[in-house]
Amino acid sequence: MRHELPLFKDLLIPLLASIPIAFLCHRLRLPAIVGFMVTGIMIGPSAFGLIKDVHAIEFLAEIGVALLLFTIGLEFSLKSLMGMKRLVLGAGGGQVVLTVLMVMGLVKLTGRPFSQALFYGFLLALSSTAIVMKSYADRLEIDTIHGRAGIGILLFQDLCIVPMMLLTPILSGQQGATPATIALTLGKAAAVIVVIIFAARTVVPFLLYRVVMLRSSEVFIIFVVLVSLGTAWVTSRFGLSMALGAFLAGIILSESEYSHQIVSDILPFRDVFNSIFFISIGMLLSLTVLIESLPIVMSWLAAIILIKMLIVAAVVRLLGYSMRISVTVGLGLAQVGEFSFILAKLGNNQSLIGQIDYQIFLAASILSMIATPFLIQVAPLFGQAIQSRFNPGRMPTEEEARQDYPAHKLNNHVVVVGYGMNGRNLSKVLHRTGIPFIVLELNAETVRTSQASGIPVYFGDVGRQQVLQHFGIAQAAIMVLAISDPLTTRRAVALARELNPNLHIIVRTRYMSEVTGLFDLGASEVIPEEFETSIEIFSRVLKQYGISRNVIENEVLEIRKEGYEMLRSTSLPVVETNRLTEAFAASIADTIYVQHDSPSVGKTLKDLDLRHHTGVTVTAIVRAGIMDINPGPEFSIEAEDILVLIGKTECIDQAIDYVKNGVLMPRSKAGNLTLTSETP
């Protein structure tokens, strides 16, 4: 007996059709999202009509959105989210209010009633969380300044979905939608968010630990999917979006030590269902309406992109960001969101939007979504062009000018660009060693909190020549670029090299493919994370096996020589690995920091007699940053000295223990593993 499986067939068709189109997009260097939406248009009811049950596909698409937001939430944390509150409330709130007011005013000019005008404002105030975040993730821009600003605005928009849906029945005059019922629903929504956060921080970690202890990958994956989709379902039952619930679940689990494993296990499910979401968006487009009302649809499309770009850019600009960043964020969010479709359908059922306008709105909205990956791709260049056109000779922004920057006091200093993990760690080291430095950062909130803590962090866009001049790049000795914005990085390198030919420019980049271009622009050193991470990994593996530091360092030099010529340092002649190991395995160089309570303080090298007791020789002593090579026997050791030791591998542990504690460890107990250098 033959059984029909319509859902199975409706799932296979979009997956099968998407492969050749995605392949074609890849060959044409077009975003994959566009290919998926084009697939939806082709197999949808208005084209070949291969899919009959569109609602089943929409259900699978919602799962894809939830998993997408869940994995993106894993890249955040509650701490980082709280640090974005100014963006979420300030930029997000301002964007929603201004968009609603502007659209409402324009619609009122057409003679429509207030209720319809306000409803149209609701529709256009929302942007596509799924498409924007997917595009940012594909371009590795989620952690950039414009990426975080865009995400902050999107989060506020998602929170606005609930009150908008609650207000829609009131605007239509529907009975039963009283202020009391609305307040009750909003209270329930707020309460469920609090409960989710509490449960995720207490119950989920406890259960997750128990699941991990089972050592079953199947149970682990099932539990993670249950947490993500279960949280999404709970929030949807209380009027919030599934995507918001999944995002909250991801944020909570991001603080778990298992977050990276969770991401790797969820990715295959997310990518499949997420592709179905973009296909389902394309299936909603009516080609008949598009063809018959093409001028009107294109007018709506132009109005959507222009209005949203201008409002978002203006709000972000008011928060103190540069014109380039503001325009980049504005173009990225210049589309209608997927939740606007749900709102539009509700309004259509309640006569707030007519059937013809509803179809035109869907067509223009879907086209705006298809255009989004292209807009995000050109946004940085367009933002730079706008800034150059309208601010070519303008001095630093008011925020920058108000800062008490001691340019006249600094000379031969370090300019650190970006106050992320790399910038913070470098700043700590520079502060401890007394090297003068300043930090340039584009996150206004980070600047304020850092300055309040006494850290010299200043607001400034290094992609502008006037900013670099204002912050004394001509007097600097070194500039370190540690930001995730490739366009700004390249522009800053070129400008800094032009303003200071003697400046030593160190650039952190993500991939090896970007190294050559940065060197051509004037970078002195380029450190690709992809390559350096691989070096750090194999170095730690060799170290764990007891390979001496000399051998490891030489292997690093050889790998760098093989990997990329431009980062090569002066190195030893190339020899085979086995011969190299034989040559260096017998000896090692190491250092030890002399603590204040060390029994070696006040003794001379003759008193210590390390050579006699341990077989190790002191080849140099560093004191207050000055190295004394081959110190004599009467050299007296002081606290905070750094002794440079050389000797056999098995003797180094004994020598370090003797300097630290004044006690000789029997040589038979000395290990062969290389010790890490002592630090203050």
CATH code, 327: 1.20.1530.20
Domain with 28, as residue range(s), is 6-389
Residues 349, 465 share a domain: no
Q: Measure the CA–CA gap between 250 and 240, rounded to whole angstroms.
A: 16
Among the candidates 489, 509, 529, a domain finishes at 509
Residues 143, 247 share a domain: yes
Cβ burial, residue 432 (10 Å; 0-12/13-18/19+): exposed
Q: Residue 400: inside a domain, yes or no?
A: no
Residues 482, 421 share a domain: yes
236-249 tens-digit pLDDT = 777 666 777 787 78
Q: What's the confidence (pLDDT) of residue 131?
A: 84
| Upper half-sphere CA count for residue 86 (Cβ side, 13 Å) | 13
Residues 213, 90 share a domain: yes
**Residues 459, 465, 466: CA angle, nearest 5 degrees:** 60
Residues 42, 161 share a domain: yes
> Whole-structure pTM over 0.75, yes or no?
no
Q: What's the confidence (pLDDT) of residue 581?
A: 43
Q: Residue 212: inside a domain, yes or no?
A: yes
Nearest to 108 by CA among 100, 118, 117: 117
Residues 168, 279 share a domain: yes
Residues 241, 367 share a domain: yes
Question: To which residue do tokens 């309460």 refer?
Answer: 191
* Phi, psi for residue 621 in degrees, rounded to 5: -130, 130
Nearest to 270 by CA among 22, 12, 67: 67
Q: Residue 568: inside a domain, yes or no?
A: no
Q: What's the confidence (pLDDT) of residue 568?
A: 39
Residues 338, 252 share a domain: yes
Q: Residue 219: inside a domain, yes or no?
A: yes
Residues 134, 64 share a domain: yes
Residues 452, 378 share a domain: no
> What b-and-e string marks burial along 381-391, b requiring 16 or more CB atoms within 10 Å of the CB?
ebbbebbeeee
* Pairing state between β 617-623 and 626-629: antiparallel
Q: What's the confidence (pLDDT) of residue 301?
A: 93
Q: For the domain that residue 593 is a member of, what is the CATH number?
A: 3.30.70.1450
Q: Residue 521: inside a domain, yes or no?
A: no
Q: Measure the CA–CA gap between 532 and 526, rounded to whole angstroms.
A: 11
Q: What's the confidence (pLDDT) of residue 314?
A: 93
| DSSP character at residue 564 | -
Q: What's the confidence (pLDDT) of residue 100?
A: 93
Q: What's the confidence (pLDDT) of residue 580?
A: 41
Among the candidates 493, 509, 525, a domain finishes at 509
Cα separations (Å) of 448 from 144, 323, 455, 457?
A: 19, 20, 10, 8
In the numeric block, which tokens belong to residue 313?
A: 């850019």
DSSP-derived 3-state class of residue 588: strand
Q: What's the confidence (pLDDT) of residue 239?
A: 67
* Phi, psi for residue 492 in degrees, rounded to 5: -65, -40
End-to-end CA distance of the chain: 78
Q: Where are the alpha helices (DSSP H) in 392-528?
A: 398-401, 421-433, 444-452, 465-470, 486-499, 515-521
Q: Measure the CA–CA gap between 536 and 541, rounded to whole angstroms.
A: 9
Q: What's the confidence (pLDDT) of residue 174?
A: 63
Q: Residue 322: inside a domain, yes or no?
A: yes
Q: Measure the CA–CA gap between 162 and 53, rounded to whole angstroms.
A: 28
Q: Residue 326: inside a domain, yes or no?
A: yes
The count of domains in the chain is 3
Q: Residue 104: inside a domain, yes or no?
A: yes
Q: Measure the CA–CA gap between 237 and 122, rounded to whole angstroms.
A: 22
Q: For the domain that residue 426 is a member of, what is the CATH number?
A: 3.40.50.720
Residues 475, 364 share a domain: no
Q: What's the confidence (pLDDT) of residue 332?
A: 92
Q: Measure the CA–CA gap between 24 and 32, rounded to whole angstroms.
A: 9
Residues 429, 378 share a domain: no
Q: What's the confidence (pLDDT) of residue 79?
A: 67
| DSSP character at residue 256 | S
Q: What's the confidence (pLDDT) of residue 478?
A: 92
Among the candidates 509, 540, 559, a domain finishes at 509
> What b-and-e string marks burial along 624-643, b requiring 16 or more CB atoms within 10 Å of the CB?
eeeeeeebeeebebeeebbb
Ranges of the chain with pLDDT below 50: 1, 393-402, 407-408, 566-585, 668-680
Q: Where are the alpha helices (DSSP H) in 214-354?
A: 217-237, 242-253, 259-283, 287-292, 294-318, 323-332, 338-349
Q: What's the confidence (pLDDT) of residue 407?
A: 47
Residues 329, 153: contact at Cβ < 8 Å? yes
